[in-house]
Structure 1
């Protein structure tokens, strides 16, 4: 089964359907690239995918090892480059409230830094990831 199906709708928008679940999302070109910025842009989804993947992989490890992750949240920022237009840098500022010990925390951070999306991004994309323990 294909993962998803996407249709283009003018002006500069797409509608994607996750084929297994039927869930959908829309994208729009960003304001700085001829769009209206009404939805996530494709590059916004890339940045969002990185953080979602990090949290998911941490959750998988925590579940398998019966660990309570506590509360995780983050703010994301992307920096674009020109010529060619591409993502130059991604900043992920993770806030983590947890009662886990330092050894578990360090293991989970390592898992986050090595998630599949992080390893799939082009090496020229700077990944600035910070954890602020609360």
Structure 2
């Protein structure tokens, strides 16, 4: 059974619907690739998926061990290359204003993030530059 139903809307825009939840995502081609840049580009979604996956896995570990991740945020920078046009780097900077006082827990969370399914699925030629401000 399909997970996502997608359609082309024209003008370099796509629409995807997550079948189980009904959630919708729209993509646009970026300004530097003939698009309007009015929504996430497909490559933006890859970068966003990496950050979200890392935090989801950290959340699973935190919940299991009774830790709270409130106040955790992150910023993502996606770097494109040309010839061929593809992602060359995804840089994610995690900021946790009130991190756990437990040094072992902080390391466990970092290790969990670095082994999330998206991180492990990306082509090794994509540099994953991950920094933790905690």
TM-score interval for Structure 1 and Structure 2 normalised by the shorter chain: over 0.9
CA displacement at 1:70 relative to structure 2: 3.4
Shifted more, 58-67 versus 42-51: the winner is: 58-67
Q: Please give the TM-score of this superposition, normalised by the length of structure 1.
A: 0.96
Q: Please give the TM-score of this superposition, normalised by the length of structure 2.
A: 0.96
Tell me, yes or no, if structure 1 residue 108 matches structure 2 residue 113.
Answer: no
Please tell me the root mean square deviation across aligned C-alpha atoms, in Å.
0.9
In the alignment, structure 1 segments of 5+ residues that lack a partner are: none
Query: 1:46-79: CA deviations, max 9, x gaps?
Result: 0000000000000011111222223210111111
Which stretches of structure 1, 4 residues or longer, exceed 4 Å deviation after superposition?
none
Count of equivalent residues: 133
CA displacement at 1:109 relative to structure 2: 0.1
Secondary structure of residue in 2 paired with 1:27: strand
Tell me, yes or no, if structure 1 residue 64 matches structure 2 residue 64.
Answer: yes
Alignment of 1:35-114 (within 5 A): 35-97=35-97, 98-114=99-115
CA displacement at 1:119 relative to structure 2: 0.4
Q: Residues 73 and 94 of structure 2 are in contact (CA less than 8 Å); yes or no, is this contact kept in structure 1?
A: yes
